[in-house]
Amino acid sequence: MSGDRYSKALASLNKQHRLRSLRAPAGLDFASNDYLGLGHHPAIKQSIVDALDSGVSVGAGASRLLRGNHDAHEALESFAAQFFGSEAALYMSTGYFANFAIFTTLTQRGDKIFYDALSHASTREGIYASKADHEAIAHNDAEAFEQALKAWTKTNSGQAWIAVESLYSMDGDRAPLQELSQIADRYDAMLVVDEAHATGVHGPTGRGFSENLAHNNNLIAVHTCGKALGCQGALICSTQQIKDYLINKCRPFIFSTGPSPLMAVAVKTALGIIDSEPQRRSDLALLYQTAHDRLNQTTKLAGPPSQILPVIVGDDARALKFAEILQAQGFDVRAIRPPTVAEGTARLRLSLTLNVTLKDVVSLMDALETLLQDAYAQ
């Protein structure tokens, strides 16, 4: 097969300033999702060493329905269900995998999924691959969700689904979860909340923004383990019935090798750290509140402060240029361009983590302020 089609596609991306490539981390971390700095936590490292010494295998070796179900998986799932206040939890290999699995397995023909227009690609692709109808709803507009469900339930008897993120990965703003939960109750809908960027960081005790809704039988919460927990995988927290259904019907689960038992051990340890070291959340809050306050002097940020701070510059080439300037100054800041975000909203996505200090954050704000002032003065 000729490679021309690929060459042309890559050339087109390059022309649009959208050609991507891989490179190793360099400079101060303002790009990762390791919000609490657990990626190098000594207790997590030691838990893996101890697990190896006790005979826990590196790989699962098979699908969990064959010989790949290990004590470490079940220990994590039992602990996670108790930790997040759900009836059950199912450990998946990635957050993308978990979202895709939920919507391709649980929804049926005749159902309809109402999802936030800024939902993550994993959610959208799971929705598109499902047998259910679907409709994008204006971002964070609880009233629009209600009107859409009200109209649909008048003439349809299928199951309604609401799909949102609790904290949006590119904008750093929060979903109106209390209102959406009430709407789900009124219209007998299932509420699926992707807590990927809130797990460990937000909520009264670091259990995400859906923490106070955890006992609702119509809630499915996805807690990603590769961000603030510093590990890998994702936990689908739900009722025992939904877990059992996924085990029996979810093709991505049935036909994939199970996640590493070692990583299950690491995730369980990370969850324990959320409770044993609450100071990490307040230390992080100081960093992102400081950055938020400074940025609001030069650019308008949506909603309450969070560890995700978007600096929207609009033009793809300008976003790349700004990122390169900051990287040359020792700050690992990345440009985010379409199709990850909407056309005309290319941005610098500043991610605040405990891998940097307050002094580092202030230095970045100084550099960014100078950069933006010089750019807009031209």
pLDDT digit string, tens, across residues 273-283: 999 999 999 99
Instruction: Give the residue from 221, 244, 276 where a domain finishes.
Output: 276
Same domain, 208 and 227: yes
Q: Active site residue: 41, 73, 112, 120, which one?
A: 120
Instruction: Give the residue from 276, 302, 331 where a domain finishes.
Output: 276
Same domain, 260 and 351: no
Per-residue pLDDT reduced to its tens digit, 165-211: 999 999 999 999 999 999 999 999 999 999 999 999 999 999 999 99
Q: Does a structural domain hold residue 50?
A: no
Q: Active site residue: 47, 166, 169, 260, which one?
A: 169
pLDDT score for 303 = 64
Q: Is 212 part of the annotated catalytic residue set?
A: no
Same domain, 194 and 128: yes
Q: Active site residue: 194, 195, 211, 316, which one?
A: 194
Q: Does a structural domain hold residue 286?
A: yes
Neighbours of 35 (CB within 10 A): 30
Q: Does a structural domain hold residue 239?
A: yes
* Structure token pair of residue 351: 């991610």
Same domain, 319 and 345: yes
| Cα gap 233→256, rounded to integer Å | 13
| Cα gap 133→108, rounded to integer Å | 9
| Cα gap 34→36, rounded to integer Å | 6
Q: Does a structural domain hold residue 47?
A: no
CATH number at residue 197: 3.40.640.10
pLDDT score for 296 = 85
Q: Active site residue: 197, 202, 223, 243, which one?
A: 197
pLDDT score for 301 = 62
| Cα gap 35→354, rounded to integer Å | 6
The two beta strands, 346-351 and 308-314, are: antiparallel
Instruction: Give the residue from 252, 276, 300 where a domain finishes.
Output: 276
Same domain, 200 and 349: no
Same domain, 252 and 119: yes
Same domain, 216 and 76: yes
Same domain, 282 and 271: no
Same domain, 271 and 342: no
Structural domain boundaries, residue 68: 56-276
| Cα gap 321→341, rounded to integer Å | 17
| Residues lower than pLDDT 50 in the chain | none
Q: Does a structural domain hold residue 1?
A: no
Q: Is 165 part of the annotated catalytic residue set?
A: yes
| Cα gap 309→2, rounded to integer Å | 43
Q: Does a structural domain hold residue 5?
A: no
Same domain, 357 and 240: no
Q: Is 197 part of the annotated catalytic residue set?
A: yes
CA atoms within 13 A on the CB side of 22: 0
CA atoms within 13 A on the CB side of 249: 13
Same domain, 287 and 267: no
The count of domains in the chain is: 2
Q: Active site residue: 41, 70, 227, 268, which one?
A: 227
Q: Active site residue: 29, 33, 306, 355, which one?
A: 33
SS (H, E, C) 238-298: ECHHHHHHHHHHCHHHHCCECCCHHHHHHHHHHHHHHHHCCHHHHHHHHHHHHHHHHHCCC
Q: Is 101 helix (H, G, I), strand (E, B) or coil?
A: helix
Q: Does a structural domain hold residue 301?
A: yes
Closest by CA to 85, choosing from 218, 232, 207, is 207
Q: Active site residue: 165, 171, 173, 332, which one?
A: 165
Same domain, 189 and 298: no
pLDDT score for 357 = 98
CATH number at residue 340: 3.90.1150.10
The answer to whether residues 258 and 271 touch, using CB atoms and an 8 Å cutoff, is no
| Cα gap 247→19, rounded to integer Å | 39
Q: Does a structural domain hold residue 136?
A: yes
